[in-house]
Structure 1
Amino acid sequence: MEPLFSLRGKNALVTGAGRGMGLGVARALARQGARVAINDFYQDRADAAAEQLRSEGFDVIGVAADITDPAQLKQMVTAVNQAFGSVDIFVANAGVPTGGMGYGKFLESDPAQWQQFLDLNLNALLHAAQAVMPGMLERAWGRFICITSESWRAGVPMGIAAYAASKAGAVGFIRQLAAETGRQGVTVNGLSLGTMNNWEGSEKIAAKSCMVPRAGSPEDVGAGVAYLASTEASWVTGQIYPLNGGSLTA
C-alpha cells in the first residue's frame, strides 16, 4: 500500500517555479513521488531549478515559457505531455509579472499596468485550463490548483488593487470550473497565501498580524499543494484554502 499523500506515478507542471514559492511546490510534489516540470519565464532559471532538484534525486525537467502567451503555454503543455506522457497535476503559481508588483495608488495607475496582472493571474489560468483539462477528463483523474492571495478578500493599503482584482477573478473561475469537472474525477482548488517570507519586512509584519507569528515559507506552500494534489484530497474541490498563519479567520 502506498503511503499517505503519495504522488508516485503522477506528472506535475508548476508555473513560475524557478525560485521561491514555486520551487517549494515543485520540491514538495517531487518528494511525494511525482515527476515535475518546472516552468519559468527564463530558460536559465528553469534549468537551474531543475538541475538543483535533480541533484537531490528527483525526476524533474525545466520548461521555459511566457504563460501569458497562449501559444507558448500550449506548446509548453504539449512538450510536457511528450516528455512525461500526461499532465495529471497543474499548479498555477506564477503571479507577479516580470517587471515586479508595481505598488502604487490605483487612481494614479495606467490601464496598461492592470492588464499585465489580468493576463497573468486570470487569462493565463483560462488558457491553462483549456490546455490541460481535456487530458485530465479523459483519464478521469486530475488536479488543477491555483496559488492565489488573501488580497482577494482583505483590503490592504499596499497599492495592489489590480493584483488583488486579478486574484479575485481567479477565485471565481476556480469555483465555476470545479462545478464542471468534479463528477469526472478532476478537482479544482486554490491555496490563498497570506504574508510570505519572500520580501523584506515580511517577518516583522507577520509577527504582529499572525496567530502563528512568522511569515509563510516555500515549504508551507509546498505542503498545502501536495495535499490538494493527492488522492486523499479527492473529496475536496471548489475550495479556497487560506494559508495565512491565522492572520484572517473568516
Structure 2
Amino acid sequence: MFLPLFSLTGRRALVTGAGRGMGLGIARALARQGAQVAVNEALPERAQEAAECLVNEGYDAIAAPADITDPAQLREMVTGVKARWGGIDIFVANAGVPVGGMTYGRFVESAPEEWKAYIDLNLYGLMHGCQAVLPGMLEQGWGRIIAITSESWRAGVPMGIAAYAASKAGAVGFIRQLASETGRQGVTVNALSLGTMNNWEGAEAIARKSCAVARAGSPQDVGAGVAYLASEEASWVTGQVHALNGGSLTA
C-alpha cells in the first residue's frame, strides 16, 4: 500500500509563530497532510486559540507557548512536546516579527537595541531551536528543518528594514552550513524565502504591480511550500533557499 504524495502521517511537527497568519497556514497545511502539530506562540492565549481552531477542524494539534528568544523557555517547550509525542520530526522556524510588531526606520538613525530584537528572534531563535530538536532527529535518522525567511535578504527595498533583512540573511547562511552537517544522517535543512505577502495593508496593490503572478502570497501558499519540504518526497532537497515570491524576483 502506497501513501499519497507528500503524506506526513505519523510525523510530529513544531511550528513557531503559528498563532495566526502565515504560521497558522503552515500549521494547518502540515496537519492536513497528517502530521501532529504543536503550535508555538509567545502569547499563550494566541497559541491556545490557534490549536483549538485546528482541533475543531479535525486535526491533531496542541498549544506550545514559549518566547523563543529565551533559550530556557524554548528548551522547556521542546521538552514538553517531546514528552507528549515522543519526539519532533519537523521543525519550522516561522516566527519572524517581535511581539511588539515590525519597526521601520533608516539604519543611520537606529539603535543597537532595535537590531537585537530581530537578531534574537530570527537568528538566535532559529539556532537555539535547531540545537534543541536536532539530537532527536539525528538519533532517529530522519528530520526536517525549515526556516521561513524573506526576500529582503536578497534584494534591498526602501522600507527601513535593515536589521530585519540582516537577521534573515544570517538565517540563510546558517541553514546552508547546518545542511552540510546533517544531510548524511537523514536530516534536511532548507529555507522558504517569502516575497510580498497579504498580511499587511497595501500588499495587494504592490504585488499587482511587481509580481509576475499579480497577487500577494497567502498562508495557503506558504503552507503548501512547507508541506513539500517536510515530506519524504523532498529527501534529496537540502541546503536550499526556495523563493516563494510570485515571480517578483527571478534570479
- Fold equivalence (TM over 0.5): yes
Which residue number in structure 2 is paired with residue 17 of structure 1? 18
Map 1:22-61; keep pairs closer than 5 Å. 22-61=23-62
Structure 2 CA distance, aligned partners of 1:86 and 1:151?
33
Compute the displacement of 1:118 (Å): 0.2
Aligned structure 1 segments of 4 or more residues deviating by more than 3 angstroms: none
Compute the displacement of 1:190 (Å): 0.1
Structure 2 CA distance, aligned partners of 1:176 and 1:201?
36
Map 1:28-177; keep pairs closer than 5 Å. 28-177=29-178
Secondary structure, aligned partner of 2:39: strand
Which residue number in structure 1 is paired with residue 9 of structure 2? 8
Paired letter, 2:170? G
Map 1:162-201; keep pairs closer than 5 Å. 162-201=163-202
Structure 2 CA distance, aligned partners of 1:184 and 1:19?
33
**1:67-102 per-position Cα deviation (integer Å, ceiling 9, x unaligned):** 000000000100000111110000000000011111
TM-score (norm 2): 0.99
Secondary structure, aligned partner of 1:64: coil
Give the root-mean-square deviation of aligned CA atoms. Answer: 0.4
- Tell me how many residue pairs correspond in the alignment: 250
Secondary structure, aligned partner of 1:36: strand
Secondary structure, aligned partner of 1:79: helix
Paired letter, 1:5? F
Paired letter, 2:169? A
Paired letter, 1:34? A
Structure 2 CA distance, aligned partners of 1:77 and 1:31?
22
Q: Percent identity of the aligned residues?
A: 74
Secondary structure, aligned partner of 1:40: coil
Which residue number in structure 2 is paired with residue 209 of structure 1? 210
**1:15-70 per-position Cα deviation (integer Å, ceiling 9, x unaligned):** 00000000000000000000000000111110000010101100000111000000
Structure 2 CA distance, aligned partners of 1:109 and 1:89?
36
Structure 1 CA distance, aligned partners of 2:249 and 2:218?
17
Compute the displacement of 1:108 (Å): 0.3
Where structure 2 has 5 or more consecutive residues not aligned to the other structure, the ranges are: none
Paired letter, 1:112? E
Compute the displacement of 1:213 (Å): 0.3
Where structure 1 has 5 or more consecutive residues not aligned to the other structure, the ranges are: none
**1:135-176 per-position Cα deviation (integer Å, ceiling 9, x unaligned):** 000000000000000000100000000000000000000000
Compute the displacement of 1:127 (Å): 0.7
Paired letter, 2:222? V
Paired letter, 1:233? A
**1:159-211 per-position Cα deviation (integer Å, ceiling 9, x unaligned):** 00000000000000000000000000000000000000000000000000000
Structure 2 CA distance, aligned partners of 1:59 and 1:74?
22
Structure 2 CA distance, aligned partners of 1:140 and 1:30?
22
Paired letter, 1:174? I
Paired letter, 2:116? Q
